[in-house]
Amino acid sequence: MEVPILKQGEVLIATFQAALSDADLNQLRSGLVQQVVRFRSRGVIVDVTAMDVLDSFASRTLREITHMIRLRGAETVIVGIQPEVAFAMVQLGLTLEGVATALDLEEGLAYLNQKFKKTN
Amino acid sequence: MAKRNGMSQETVTLNNRAGELARDEAPSELLRELVAHLRQNRTQLREEWVARISEARLLTAMTKEEIFAEATSVYDSYVEALETETFEALQAYARNLSERIIPRGVETHEVLGIVLLLRDVLARSLFAKYQTDFKKLNRILDAYEPAANRIQSTVAVGFVQERERVIRQQQEAIRELSTPVLQVRERLLILPIIGVIDPQRSRQLTEQLLRGIRTNRAKVVVIDITGVAAMDATVANHLVQTVEASRLLGANVIVTGLSPEIAQTLVTIGIDLGKMNTVGDLQGGIEQAERLLGYKVVALAEPS
Amino acid sequence: MPINSDQDIVVARQKGRALATELGFPPGDATLIATAISELARNIVSYARKGHITLQKIDGLNREGLSVIASDQGPGITDIRQAMRDGFSTSGSLGMGLPGVRRLMDEFEIKSQPGRGTTVVVKKWKQ
């Protein structure tokens, strides 16, 4: 399954569809990092609104994406985690420590813009 | 389950006696005679019963007329249950009666009391009728007692079940009321927690807060636990989880009102308070929340 | 249903959510169940490579529920107590696995024999 990656100015937006397999997630991770390098993006938004389950593997992938992109000098923010999904995640002990989160796409963009302003 | 077993045992008792009674009337015939007696003396027995109820100061929440009307229905259902030896109608009536009188504060002992009184009134009238024929009285009572037991337990169980249902409903309502998620400013929610937190309430609280964060697009949440008297490891862990889940939705949580005693307990049981942003009191928490949101509150003039 | 690849993990959790919804579980519980299935299926794929997941409606006293049975003939777990401790993992990738699943569900049972395989049974009851 292809994950669409949208380029908007200095920001890349990846929208996760439901039912992503582990292989899809791995592919997405490397794809995103490549694109950040290619477009010299400053920020990445990963939109997980459609994901009805975020288990240990998905959480680990999100953390890895954030860390790898940070090594490239860009910021990542995860947006759209659903309330029930968040509840299940903390029960599992998955708290995405060290990863920025925001309510939705709009909030994610606002977060990144503020970050950019500070570093400019 | 237990109720059903009780009934079959009573039936067995009746059947065992049947051989012994063969030369006289069968139990069902005795019950018919009994029912006829209770029908004939309906007015008198019912009045006697109502008098005994007021004498015993039962059903004080109800008026005389109401007691009389209910007594009539109970009496008739009682006799009908004796006659048909089926208890469904009585059960339905008991449930319906409970539904009406529980909101008015009628207690379990009162309902048990009035049925016991009716039983007593009826037994006395049987004694009076058959006092000259002791053998017959015995046989009548053999037929009457198991049925009366069954009626007694049917009414009592019906009442208690209804009461439990009401209590469950009220608990649910209290739970809903006790976790208000309040929006005090745009993007700022306050969740005051008062009373005891059990795992079920804790879960409801978290779900309500998470939904609130989403619908109000909140960025900061102040959870005030001034009203929480005690906190153990389980509750503390739930609180930590609530904070973490809120963050996954992009909201910052500030916990206020943590008493020194609770703070001490948490440290002792090894809860990592470092993960939580804590501020002394609710006012301080709201001020910090406003700063996080970029509000600046200034007095318009010196207070006079 | 057979669990042989990471694709099957997705199918298993989707079926779990569908059954939970059909049985009348609220959305929050359906998510907990789907997440638990995802973790159990993932354990099968990572440790045993293949196995089975069975979903069942169960009846208790005055209540209904859903059970998930995850079984495999993989290497098994030598020290169950250690595996049930938070933060333990032999593959290095699934730190939260089993203790987390236990927190998601109401009942949790595990049987394992080294060299023979592992069976995990978890249940969730409707409130």
By CA distance, what is B246's nearest residue in A?
A86
Query: Nearest C-alpha of chain B: how many angstroms from A83?
Result: 5
**pLDDT tens-place values along chain B, 304 residues long:** 444 444 444 444 444 444 444 445 677 788 888 899 999 999 999 999 999 999 988 888 888 888 888 889 888 988 888 888 888 888 888 888 888 888 888 888 888 899 999 999 999 999 999 989 888 898 888 888 888 888 888 888 888 888 888 888 887 777 666 678 888 888 999 999 887 777 778 888 898 899 999 999 999 999 998 888 778 878 888 888 899 999 999 999 999 998 888 888 888 877 777 778 888 899 999 999 999 888 777 777 766 5
Contacts of B67 (CB under 8 A, 6+ apart): B50, B53, B54, B59
Query: Nearest C-alpha of chain B: how many angstroms from A64?
Result: 16
Q: How many structural domains does chain C have?
A: 1
Contacts of B57 (CB under 8 A, 6+ apart): none
- What tens digit of pLDDT does each residue of B16-26 get? 444 444 445 67
Query: Which CATH number covers residue C100?
Result: 3.30.565.10
Give me the residue label for tokens 């930590």: B240
With left for phi above 0 and alpha for psi between -120 and 50, is residue B186 left, alpha or beta? Answer: beta
- What tens digit of pLDDT does each residue of A97-116 get? 889 999 999 999 999 998 88
By CA distance, what is B204's nearest residue in A?
A87
Q: Are the CB atoms for A10 and A116 separated by under 8 Å?
A: yes
Substitution target in A48, A62, A84, A87 with the highest count of B β-carbons within 10 Å is A87
- What tens digit of pLDDT does each residue of C35-74 get? 999 999 988 888 888 999 999 999 987 789 999 999 988 8
Q: By residue range, what is the domain housing residue C43? A: 2-125
Substitution target in A53, A103, A107 with the highest count of B β-carbons within 10 Å is A103
Architecture of domain B2-173: Orthogonal Bundle (1.10)
Q: Are the CB atoms for B244 and A83 separated by under 8 Å?
A: no
pLDDT at B302: 66
Q: By residue range, what is the domain housing residue A10? A: 5-119
For B182-293, CATH number? 3.30.750.24
Query: How much is the pTM?
Result: 0.69
Query: Which CATH number covers residue A14?
Result: 3.30.750.24
∠ CA(B39), CA(B45), CA(B50), 5° rounding?
A: 130
Signed CA dihedral, B95, B96, B98, B103: sign only: positive
Give me the residue label for tokens 């209904």: C64
Q: Are the CB atoms for A91 and C100 separated by under 8 Å?
A: yes
Q: Which long-range contacts (C-beta less than 8 Å, at least 24 apart) are formed by B16-24?
A: B17/B142, B21/B139, B24/B136, B24/B139
d(CA B162, CA B168): 10
∠ CA(A51), CA(A56), CA(A57), 5° rounding?
A: 75
| Residue B185, strand partner residues | B188
Query: Nearest C-alpha of chain C: how many angstroms from A6?
Result: 25
> In this complex, do C104 and A91 lie within 8 Å of one another by their Cβ atoms?
yes
Chain A neighbors of C7, CB-CB under 8 A:
21, 23
Give me the residue label for tokens 């007696």: B37
Give me the residue label for tokens 């090594």: A71
> In this complex, do A87 and B214 lie within 8 Å of one another by their Cβ atoms?
no
What are the counts of helices (DSSP H) followed by strands (DSSP E) for chain C? 4, 5
> What ipTM did this prediction achieve?
0.91
Chain A neighbors of C96, CB-CB under 8 A:
56, 92-94
Which residue type sits at C74? Answer: G
pLDDT at C91: 42
Q: Are the CB atoms for B246 and B221 separated by under 8 Å?
A: yes
Q: How many structural domains does chain A have?
A: 1
- Domain chopping of chain B, boundaries: 2-173, 182-293
